[in-house]
Amino acid sequence: MSCSIVYDDVYFTYLDGTQALRGLSFTLKHGEHVALLGPNGAGKSTAMLLSNGVLMPSNGEVRVGDLSLSKETLVRIRQRVGLVFQDPDDQLFMTTVYDDVAFGPRNMKLGKEEIEERVTEALKAVSLEQESKKAPQDLSFGQKKRAALATILVMQPDFLILDEPSSNLDPKGRRQMMEMLRTIHATMLIATHDLDLVWEMLPRSIIIDGGKIVADGPTQELLQNQALLTAHGLELPSAVRYRSQ
- Measured CA to CA, the distance from residue 231 to residue 214 in angstroms comes to 10
- Measured CA to CA, the distance from residue 57 to residue 41 in angstroms comes to 17
Q: Read off the pLDDT of residues 108-124 as tens digits, 9 standing for 90 and up.
A: 999 999 999 999 999 99
- Judge contact between 175 and 200, C-beta under 8 A: no
Domain holding 162: CATH number? 3.40.50.300
User: What's phi and psi for 182, nearest 5 deg?
Assistant: -65, -25
Burial of residue 196 (number of CB atoms within 10 Å: 0-12, 13-18, 19+): middle
Q: What is the number of domains present in the chain?
A: 1
Pick from 1, 5, 106, 103: nearest CA to 53:
5
3-state secondary structure of 79: helix
**Is pLDDT at 183 greater than 70 in this prediction?**
yes
- Measured CA to CA, the distance from residue 235 to residue 189 in angstroms comes to 20
pLDDT at 244: 60
| Cα dihedral: 192, 198, 202, 204 (round 10) | 80
Calculate the average pLDDT of the chain.
93
- Measured CA to CA, the distance from residue 230 to residue 236 in angstroms comes to 9
- Measured CA to CA, the distance from residue 194 to residue 165 in angstroms comes to 9
**Is pLDDT at 1 greater than 60 in this prediction?**
no
pTM equals 0.92
Q: Are strands 19-29 and 33-37 parallel, antiparallel or unpaired?
A: unpaired
Task: Say what percent of the chain tops pLDDT 90.
Answer: 88
Q: 64 lies in which domain range?
A: 4-244
Checking phi first, is residue 210 left (phi over 0); if not, alpha (psi -120 to 50) or beta? left
**Is pLDDT at 21 greater than 50 in this prediction?**
yes
